[in-house]
Amino acid sequence: MLYIGLMSGTSLDGIDAALVDIDEMGRPTLIAQHFLPYMQTLQSQIFSLSQSAKINVVEMQLLDQKLGRLYAECVITLLENNSIPAEEVQAIGCHGQTLRHQPRPNAFSLQIGDANQIAELTRITTVADFRRRDIAAGGEGAPLVPAFHQHVFSSSNKPRQILNLGGIANITVLSKQADESFGFDLGPANALSNEWVNQHWQIEFDKNGALARSGTVQNQLLNDWLQLDYFEQVPPKSTGRELFNIKNLQALTPSMHNLAKEDVLASLIELTAVSVAQGIKRWGHTEGELLLCGGGEHNSYLVERIKHHLPQLEIGSTDALGIPGDMMEACAFAWLAYRTMQGLAGNSAKTTGALGPRILGAIYSA
C-alpha cells in the first residue's frame, strides 16, 4: 500500500515528501522522495508569525491556505516525477508547519497547512492534525516519531538510539520491549545556529560547520545557557522555537553582543552537543549504537562535537538501516497516516505522557 508523508520542521528549510510502500505487517519501504524548498520570504513570514506575541488571524489563515497549496504541489510533483497515479496512494500524512507548541501544563500545539487544500488539489485522502488527540489524552503531543522508530529500528542485538538533529534535537531510546521505549526533545539542534548565521552572514546554514569550526567556544556563555530549566526537566518533555531562539538567549546573556560572531556560533554548536550528551547520559543508553538523522547529521563539526562528548557510543546514520536521515520524519508521517487509516494507535504514551495509546489525526477524504 502506498502512502505519502509530508514534513516541514522547525528549521523552516522546506517540505520533505516521502512516497512509502507499507506492507501488511506495517513495515515501510521508501520508494521515492522530493524536497520543495521554501522561498526566503516565506521562511521569514513563518518565523515572524511563530515568534509574534500576538498572531494576526487573517495573516495566519492566508498562510494556512498557502502552505496547504504548497504541500499539494509537492505531492503532485513527487507523483509526476515517478509516474504514479494519485489513485494508487491510500493517503497522505501531513505534519503541518508548527506555529506554536506549548508543553504541559496547559499543553497545546498549533500546526498550519490546510489539509482541505491538500485533499482537494491532490484528490488523495489526507490525514493531519496528529498532535491534539494525544494532548487531549494528557500528553504533550510530541515527539511523535519515536513510535515509528520503535516499529522500524528496534534491535535485540545491542542498545540502540535514534538522534534526530532537526531544528530541535530529539532522541528515541529503544528497548527490546516496545512499551519500554521512549523519546523526548533534548534541546536545540539546527534552529539556533541557522538563525545566527542568517542574521550575521545572510546564509541559510553553516555548511559542514565551517564557520563554527573557525570560532572558539566561550565557556561562560555556554554555562549560562545550560542553566535553562528545560535541560533539568525529566522526560516526558518537549520544546520548540518558543524557548530556543536567539532573542531569548540574548536576553539571558547580553554579553554575546560583544563577542566575535564565529565564537558565538561555535558556542551554539557546543550547546547542542553538550545538551545532547547530558540528556543521553542521564536518561538514555550509554553504550551501543547512536544513529543520526535530520539535517544536522550533515554538519560534520556538530557530529564531531557529539562524538567528543559521547566517545563510548557507536555513532552512525539511519541510512545504513534503509531510511535516509533527511527523509526520516516524512516517512514517519506516511506511517502515521497508515496507522490512522487502519484504526491503529500512533503515539508512544511513555514518550508523550498521554494516558495511553490513541488513534491520531483527522481524516480529510479525497
One-letter amino acid at 221 equals L
How crowded is the C-beta side of 87, counted as CA atoms within 13 Å?
Answer: 0
Q: How far is CA 230 from the centre of its chain?
A: 18
State the SS3 of the chain: CEEEEEECCCCCCEEEEEEEEECCCCCEEEEEEEEEECCHHHHHHHHHHHHCCCCCHHHHHHHHHHHHHHHHHHHHHHHHHCCCCHHHEEEEEECCEEEEEECCCCCEEEEECCHHHHHHHHCCCEEECCHHHHHHCCCCCCCCHHHHHHHHHCCCCCCEEEEEECCEEEEEECCCCHHHCEEEEEEECCHHHHHHHHHHHCCCCCHHHHHHHCCCCCHHHHHHHCCCHHHHCCCCCCCCCCCCCHHHHHHHCHHHHHCCHHHHHHHHHHHHHHHHHHHHHHHCCCCCEEEEECHHHHCHHHHHHHHHHCCCCEEEEHHHHCCCHHHHHHHHHHHHHHHHHCCCCCCCHHHHCCCCCCCCCEEECC
Give the mean pLDDT of 163-174. Answer: 97
Residue with cell 556538530: 302
- The reported pLDDT for the residue numbered 178 is 79
One-letter amino acid at 331 equals C
Give the mean pLDDT of 167-188. Answer: 93
pLDDT beyond 80 at 156: no
pLDDT beyond 90 at 220: yes
Domain architecture of the chain: domains with CATH: 2-142+326-364 (3.30.420.40), 145-321 (3.30.420.40)
Give the mean pLDDT of 226-239. Answer: 97
Whats the size of the chain, residue-wise?
366
- Distance CA(210)–CA(133), nearest Å, equals 42
Provide the pLDDT confidence category of residue 339 given band limits of 50, 70 and 90: very high
- The reported pLDDT for the residue numbered 157 is 83
pLDDT digits (tens, 9 = 90+) for 184-194: 999 999 999 99
- Distance CA(291)–CA(153), nearest Å, equals 10
pLDDT digits (tens, 9 = 90+) for 33-67: 999 999 999 999 999 999 998 889 999 999 999 99
- The reported pLDDT for the residue numbered 286 is 93
**Quick one: which of 327, 331, 334 has its CA closest to 128?**
334
Give the mean pLDDT of 339-356. Answer: 97
